[in-house]
Chains A and B, each alone.
Chain A
Amino acid sequence: MVNLELLITALVTALACSLPGTYLVLRKTSLMSDAITHSVLPGIVIGYVLSGSVLGMGPWLGAMVFAMIAVVLVEGLTKTGRIKHDASIGLVFPFLFALGVILATLFAENIHLDTDAILLGELAYIPLDRISLGWWSFPKSLVQMSSVLIVNLSLAALFFKELEITTFDPTYATASRIPARIFHYGLMLVMSLTAVAAFDAVGSVLMVAYVVAPSATAMLLVHQLKPLFFLSFIIATVATFLGYLIAILTDTNIAASIAVMLGIIFFIALVLSPRWGILSLVLRKKSENFNFDLGMLLVHLSHHLGSQTESIECHCDHLAEHMGWPETHAQKVIIEAKKRNYINVEAKFLILNDQGKEAAKKIMLGLWDL
């Protein structure tokens, strides 16, 4: 059942897409990938129609031209200050995409793109469209994607330092004579190159998941550039295998299944990531709140220490009322305070010991580390 060619094509596509994706995510312009993958469509159609051949360079050139048009339009519109960045993306790419769809339907006889394939790709048909290299014949898409992957990898390796600097500190980059703008447009050009190559396989919307999800997921787990690349490759690989498996088992669209899997992995990381995850966020918040309440108790006790109302204020049973806590919560805080040896309990009276007094003083000076 497992079609190895299909699996490898999917894997190569995911890897090739995730490379420029990492820089897009780091530069906080992930949605430019959405704009580019949609905007290449009219270029591809015009390229097909003009060059007449599927194998020719026409679609590639057309796609890159239109991707650049989209990038320049979006940035140009933003720069005029008339509309914001998000609105200019939202204005430009639906326009170009709609134009592409209209062209595709008008020239439907000349090209083999039907409108559903534009959105979804046709990964299942990839092995049918073949070219031969030497003695072997490969799916055309696999050859395309592998070449793009190699180009992306070598560009990333060659300009690793420049890309790193222009991504994290464009001002410093300009100061050290690294042309940040050229690298910006270069990145967009590489993104559009990848988009054309992956278009047949995964279509324009699903591609966004392939581009953004692996590195956005990896960013939740690691904090350095090289491990980020490594991890996003691993995530892309795992998602491809799992997605493929599920698609085969449930008899569903493979490209979509992989994209869903990328989304699921993202959510798992989002919940479980040790440093940035929702779960650790909630737990940290909870322990912070508890520690805060503990501090409140100590301050409360020290405030009433030796006062006339001490017998009421520092009684175990009245605590819930004074602090506005539920009974059970008050119990927990008292137990924790006892455990940390801040208070002594004598006949239901809470008495601060020396360590507790010290701690209360620290809290009021703002020195206590919650």
Chain B
Amino acid sequence: MFEELFSLWSNPTFQNILFSTTILGAGTGALGCFIFLRKESLLGDTMSHSALPGVVLAFLLTLQRDMLWLALGAFVFSLAGALIINYVIRRTRVDQDAAQAIILSSFFALGVQLLSWVQNNVTANKAGLTHYLFGQAGALTHSDLILIIVVMSLIGVVLILFWNRWVLISFDSLFGKSIGIKTWLWESLLMGIVVLSIVIGISVVGVVLMSALLVAPSAASRQWVQTPKGMILLAAVFGGISGFLGTTISLAQPQIPTGPSIVVTLSFFSLLSLLLSPQRGILARWMLERTFQNSFAQQRMLRNMGRLGELHHDLFVKHKKTTLLTMDDQTQGPHQALEALRLRGLVTRTKENFYALTQKGVDTLKQGNKNGQP
């Protein structure tokens, strides 16, 4: 198994692909944090879909499949899509959801229509244009890798240089405006950078799944860390690892397409993070709730037994289990509470279905009555 993997990783062609997807995953993952924090996660989806007509038009104009030209076409159209959406939701009655849905699907449809026209009418080498739908990591060449590295490091430099600005517009754009920062400029610049990364990414994972590369890593990393710096670093790690693992899976199992494989790996990390993170995780939260509920149920049970005992003028009197259960008006686990109290040694079971307070139980109860809680 490991030998197979090792031979996979040492193949120069495969290394090309692996490096490309890893770097792409890391870069888009880091960048995605900003749009995640700005609550514009679906903007990436819209922009990647609306890039399609740009790709096909660029091909029509140049009649060759040069990644740089296709990327330029894609850039123009996704930026146009994003700007139109921004205008429409700010100025008209159409809400954000509807505007995004319409731009996304109608731009994409335009791309499909142009694509079908190209397929029926153009004789130049158009093979591989449809790969922009799902991407084709297998076709990545060394020059593509270099392009990806150049663009991603450029993005990285810009992110680091103007770090404060990006954090500011991600958390409190309005405050930025109030202290005289041209937020619209930085917001547009951020959008431009995001479009740039999308344009590079769609040739690898395709227009449909591109948005996951932006959203999933940040959603995962947000669950583990609390600072923007840490969040972005971790998101880059998640994105990079998923890119690497997803590509490895698809290289080992050639029927599995690379894009979907990366996305499934990424989603796996995100869902796992949402579930298992120690502080914010759904599981941790659920367990905390359970603990609270249990301790409340135990308090109630202890108090009920004490009250019953007072009526009998004997705190150590034996109670029928059914009586105790019906006394608890909450449905939340009186059974378990009784058992837990027995394990803590506050209650004993005298015989089948009969329970009584122990000395320790009575002490705890009295102590609790003094402090307001047992």
Q: Please judge, given known A-B contacts A90-B41, A252-B117, whether A80 and B274 are in contact too, CB under 8 Å.
A: yes
A29 contacts which chain B residues (CB < 8 A)?
97
A84 contacts which chain B residues (CB < 8 A)?
39, 41
B212 contacts which chain A residues (CB < 8 A)?
90-91, 94-95, 98
Contact of B92 with A270 in the complex, beta carbons under 8 Å: yes
A205 to B215, CA, bound (A): 19
Q: Which of A274-289 contact B (CB under 8 A)?
A: 276-278, 281
Binds A, one of B170-178, B251-259, B290-298: B251-259
A108 to B255, CA, bound (A): 9
How near does chain B come to A284, taking the closest CB pair, in angstroms?
12
A98 to B215, CA, bound (A): 15
A99 contacts which chain B residues (CB < 8 A)?
260, 264
Look across to chain B and name the residue whose beta carbon is closest to the beta carbon of A246: B113
Q: Scoring A residues 69 to 110 as 1 if CB is less than 8 Å from chain B, else 0, what string do you get?
A: 000000001001011101111110011011101100110100
How near does chain B come to A22, taking the closest CB pair, in angstroms?
11
B259 contacts which chain A residues (CB < 8 A)?
98, 101
A87 to B35, CA, bound (A): 10
A250 contacts which chain B residues (CB < 8 A)?
113, 117
How near does chain A come to B12, taking the closest CB pair, in angstroms?
26
Contact of B208 with A33 in the complex, beta carbons under 8 Å: no
Contact of B264 with A276 in the complex, beta carbons under 8 Å: no
How near does chain B come to A327, taking the closest CB pair, in angstroms?
31
A82 to B286, CA, bound (A): 13
How near does chain B come to A289, taking the closest CB pair, in angstroms?
16
Report the interface size for chain A: residues with CB under 8 A from the other chain.
64
Look across to chain B and name the residue whose beta carbon is closest to the beta carbon of A31: B97
Contact of B219 with A83 in the complex, beta carbons under 8 Å: yes
Q: Scoring B residues 69 to 113 as 1 if CB is less than 8 Å from chain A, else 0, what string do you get?
A: 000000000000000000010011111011011111111111011
Q: Please judge, given known A-B contacts A80-B285, A83-B222, A84-B41, whether A216 and B274 are in contact too, CB under 8 Å.
A: no
Within 8 Å by CB of A266, from B106, B114, B219, lies B106
Contact of A263 with B100 in the complex, beta carbons under 8 Å: no
Contact of A260 with B113 in the complex, beta carbons under 8 Å: yes
Q: Is A262's CB within 8 Å of the partner chain B?
A: yes
Q: Which of B29-46 contact A (CB under 8 A)?
A: 36, 39-42, 44-45
Within 8 Å by CB of B45, from A77, A80, A90, A98, lies A90
How near does chain A come to B311, taking the closest CB pair, in angstroms?
42
A126 to B349, CA, bound (A): 73
Q: Please judge, given known A-B contacts A28-B97, A105-B257, A216-B94, whether A205 and B49 are in contact too, CB under 8 Å.
A: yes
How near does chain B come to A76, taking the closest CB pair, in angstroms?
9
Contact of B260 with A31 in the complex, beta carbons under 8 Å: no
B120 contacts which chain A residues (CB < 8 A)?
251-252
A258 contacts which chain B residues (CB < 8 A)?
109
Q: Is A45's CB within 8 Å of the partner chain B?
A: no
Look across to chain A and name the residue whose beta carbon is closest to the beta carbon of B223: A82
Contact of A259 with B109 in the complex, beta carbons under 8 Å: yes
Q: Scoring A residues 220 to 240 as 1 if CB is less than 8 Å from chain B, else 0, what string do you get?
A: 100000000000000000000
Q: Is B216's CB within 8 Å of the partner chain A?
A: yes
Q: Is A25's CB within 8 Å of the partner chain B?
A: yes
Q: Is A344's CB within 8 Å of the partner chain B?
A: no
Contact of B216 with A259 in the complex, beta carbons under 8 Å: no
B36 contacts which chain A residues (CB < 8 A)?
87
Contact of B134 with A115 in the complex, beta carbons under 8 Å: yes
Q: Please judge, given known A-B contacts A95-B263, A99-B264, A102-B256, whether A28 and B274 are in contact too, CB under 8 Å.
A: no
Pick the most buried of B97, B110, B263, B264: most chain A CB atoms within 10 A of its CB: B97
Within 8 Å by CB of A105, from B112, B214, B256, lies B256
A34 to B102, CA, bound (A): 10
A87 to B209, CA, bound (A): 14
Q: Is A219's CB within 8 Å of the partner chain B?
A: yes
Q: Is B267's CB within 8 Å of the partner chain A?
A: yes
Contact of A94 with B209 in the complex, beta carbons under 8 Å: yes
A34 to B271, CA, bound (A): 20
Contact of B116 with A256 in the complex, beta carbons under 8 Å: yes
Contact of B93 with A34 in the complex, beta carbons under 8 Å: no
Q: Which of B228-285 contact A (CB under 8 A)?
A: 255-257, 259-261, 263-264, 267, 270-271, 274, 280, 282, 285
A252 to B118, CA, bound (A): 9
Contact of B274 with A90 in the complex, beta carbons under 8 Å: no
Q: Scoring A residues 294 to 331 as 1 if CB is less than 8 Å from chain B, else 0, what string do you get?
A: 00000000000000000000000000000000000000
Q: Is A167's CB within 8 Å of the partner chain B?
A: no
Contact of B49 with A212 in the complex, beta carbons under 8 Å: no
Q: Please judge, given known A-B contacts A25-B98, A30-B98, A99-B264, whether A263 and B112 are in contact too, CB under 8 Å.
A: no
Q: Is A61's CB within 8 Å of the partner chain B?
A: no
Look across to chain B and name the residue whose beta carbon is closest to the beta carbon of A94: B212
Q: Is A189's CB within 8 Å of the partner chain B?
A: no
A94 to B93, CA, bound (A): 29
How near does chain B come to A33, taking the closest CB pair, in angstroms?
7
Contact of A281 with B92 in the complex, beta carbons under 8 Å: yes
- Contacts A31-B97, A82-B222 aside, 13 further interface pairs with beta carbons under 8 A come to A34-B101, A84-B39, A91-B212, A97-B209, A98-B261, A115-B133, A119-B208, A209-B102, A250-B113, A250-B117, A253-B113, A253-B115, A281-B92
Q: Which residues of B contact A (CB under 8 A)?
A: 36, 39-42, 44-45, 49, 88, 91-95, 97-98, 100-110, 112-117, 120-121, 130, 133-134, 208-209, 211-212, 214-216, 218-219, 222-223, 255-257, 259-261, 263-264, 267, 270-271, 274, 280, 282, 285
Interface pairs (25), CB distance under 8 Å: A31-B42, A31-B101, A33-B101, A34-B101, A34-B104, A38-B208, A87-B218, A90-B215, A91-B212, A91-B216, A91-B270, A91-B271, A98-B263, A102-B261, A119-B112, A206-B105, A206-B109, A208-B101, A213-B106, A220-B94, A251-B120, A256-B110, A262-B106, A270-B94, A278-B92
